[in-house]
Amino acid sequence: MRLALELATIHKKHQHETLRAENVAILQSIGLQQEAQDFFIEFSFDEEVTVGLFYYHQTNCLKKSADWEEDFQRALSANLLLIGSGTTGDPVALDLVDYQVGILFHDYFWGEDAEDPRKFLIKMGCSLGQFFYNTIDIKDYPADAYEAATYTNAEFTGLWSPDKE
Band of pLDDT at residue 156, cut at 50, 70 and 90: confident
Is 82 within the bounds of a domain?
Answer: yes
Say whether 142 sits in a helix, a strand or coil: coil
pLDDT at 164 over 70: no
Identify residue 38 by its one-letter amino acid code: D
Is 57 within the bounds of a domain?
Answer: yes
Number of domains in the chain: 1
pLDDT at 165 over 80: no
CATH at residue 89: 3.40.1580.10
Is 164 within the bounds of a domain?
Answer: no
Report the pLDDT averaged over residues 134-162.
89
In tens, the pLDDT along 96-145 reads: 999 999 999 998 888 888 889 999 999 999 999 999 999 999 999 999 99
Is 161 within the bounds of a domain?
Answer: no
Is 76 within the bounds of a domain?
Answer: yes
Rounded Cα–Cα distance for residues 83 and 100 (Å): 12
Mean pLDDT of the chain: 92
Is 77 within the bounds of a domain?
Answer: yes
Report the pLDDT averaged over residues 44-62.
95
Rounded percentage of the chain residues whose pLDDT exceeds 90: 82
Q: Please name the helix (run of DSSP H) or strand (run of DSSP E) that holds residue 80, with its range, or none.
A: strand 80-86
Rounded percentage of the chain residues whose pLDDT exceeds 70: 96
Is 118 within the bounds of a domain?
Answer: yes
Rounded Cα–Cα distance for residues 96 and 77 (Å): 10
Is 14 within the bounds of a domain?
Answer: yes
In tens, the pLDDT along 24-46 reads: 999 999 999 999 999 999 999 99
Output b/e per residue, 59-72; b: 16+ Cβ within 10 A.
bbebeebbeeeebb
pLDDT at 163 over 60: no
Whether the model pTM is above 0.85: yes
Find the domain containing 88 and state its range: 2-151
Tell me, what's the pLDDT at 114? 85
